């Protein structure tokens, strides 16, 4: 009698290990950048939106694809309430603030829940990557959903993702998921450009620094996995207000201290892609 115990890792191995996937670039784009967190509520969508705007401000043609099917944020962040045009075969991205935008939220009512199983999510992602007329983009940013599920696997296995940035707060609970995300990207042979420490601290009225989610955890994790630590973004009330107004901080106030941080991130990303990665 065979008494070998089969664990979860054995049953899932064939589904998650990269084999002979054919990864294709997204038509109309040079580079694809995934912005991930693996954990919800750490400011990933805010980062993706502001990074897109910062890249535009340093003279790149940029698009953003909101790949969070269950919880799309782009319609609110960019105050977009119209539907994209279609020729019956392809969708045309909506242009806002000089950014080409696409989201499932453009196609559904704001309060309609997406009660979809995995195959429907995968079908939607394939529509957004194969049937959207992206126009001459230097970089398309993919705002990934939390977790390590169907959407992440679809991108990693079928789309040529040129790099990923992982966003986290320094809280240990968030970092546990970040470590899972790092291992996922490593398994799927996607290069991680670096980690970002978001909502890392705030400055009180007394001018003191308060690291309310802990301190140094993201940088420590970057060192643990030998990944570049890209930097910190503090909590600032102006960021939340700009999001609620539908004009992200980089667009709303380019001279704001937070906007300047995003510009520095954008310059790093531009150097990474155009100095180190061969375009198509």
Label residue 199 left, alpha or beta by phi (over 0 means left) and psi (-120 to 50 means alpha).
left
pLDDT of residue 188: 81
- Cα separation, 252 vs 105, in Å, equals 22
Kindly tell me the number of DSSP H helices and DSSP E strands found in the chain.
Answer: 10, 10
Tens-digit pLDDT string for the chain (280 aa): 555 554 444 434 434 454 555 677 899 999 999 999 877 778 899 999 999 999 999 999 999 999 887 778 899 999 999 999 989 889 999 999 999 999 988 887 666 666 666 677 777 788 888 899 999 999 999 998 876 667 777 776 778 889 999 999 888 888 888 898 899 888 888 899 999 999 999 888 898 899 888 888 999 999 999 999 999 999 999 999 999 999 999 999 999 999 999 999 999 999 999 887 554 4
**Domains with residue ranges and CATH for the chain:** 22-276 (3.40.50.300)
pLDDT of residue 146: 76
Token pair 């991930």 is found at 36
Joined tokens for residue 143: 């705002």
- Cα separation, 61 vs 82, in Å, equals 22
* 8-state DSSP, 254: T
**Predicted TM-score of the model (pTM):** 0.87
pLDDT of residue 255: 97
pLDDT of residue 136: 95
* 8-state DSSP, 134: -
pLDDT of residue 10: 44
pLDDT of residue 18: 47
Of 167, 238, 166, 234, which Cα lies nearest the Cα of 200?
Answer: 234
């Amino acid at each position: 009698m065979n008494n070998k115990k089969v664990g979860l890792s054995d049953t899932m191995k064939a589904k998650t290990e990269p084999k002979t996937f054919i990864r294709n670039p997204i038509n109309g784009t040079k580079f694809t950048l995934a912005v991930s967190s693996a954990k919800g509520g750490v400011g990933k969508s805010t980062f993706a939106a502001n990074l897109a705007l910062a890249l535009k401000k340093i003279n790149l043609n940029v698009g953003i694809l909101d790949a969070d099917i269950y919880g799309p944020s782009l319609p609110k962040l960019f105050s977009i309430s119209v539907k994209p045009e279609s020729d019956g075969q392809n969708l045309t991205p909506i242009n806002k603030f000089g950014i080409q935008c696409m989201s499932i939220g453009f196609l559904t009512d704001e309060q309609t829940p997406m009660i979809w199983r995995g195959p429907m999510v995968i079908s939607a992602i394939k529509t957004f990557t194969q049937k959207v007329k992206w126009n001459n983009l230097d970089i398309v940013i993919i705002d990934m959903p939390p977790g390590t599920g169907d959407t992440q696997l679809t991108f990693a296995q079928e789309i040529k993702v040129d790099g990923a940035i992982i966003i986290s707060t320094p809280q240990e609970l968030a970092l546990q998921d970040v470590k899972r995300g790092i291992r996922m990207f490593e398994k799927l042979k996607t290069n991680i450009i670096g980690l970002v420490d978001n909502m890392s601290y705030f400055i009180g009225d007394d001018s003191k620094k308060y690291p309310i989610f802990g301190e140094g955890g993201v940088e420590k994790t970057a060192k643990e996995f030998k990944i570049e630590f890209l930097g910190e973004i503090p909590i600032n009330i102006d960021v939340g207000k700009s999001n609620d107004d539908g004009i992200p901080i980089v667009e709303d106030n380019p001279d704001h201290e937070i906007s300047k941080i995003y510009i520095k991130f954008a310059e790093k990303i531009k150097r990474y892609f155009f100095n180190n990665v061969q375009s198509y």
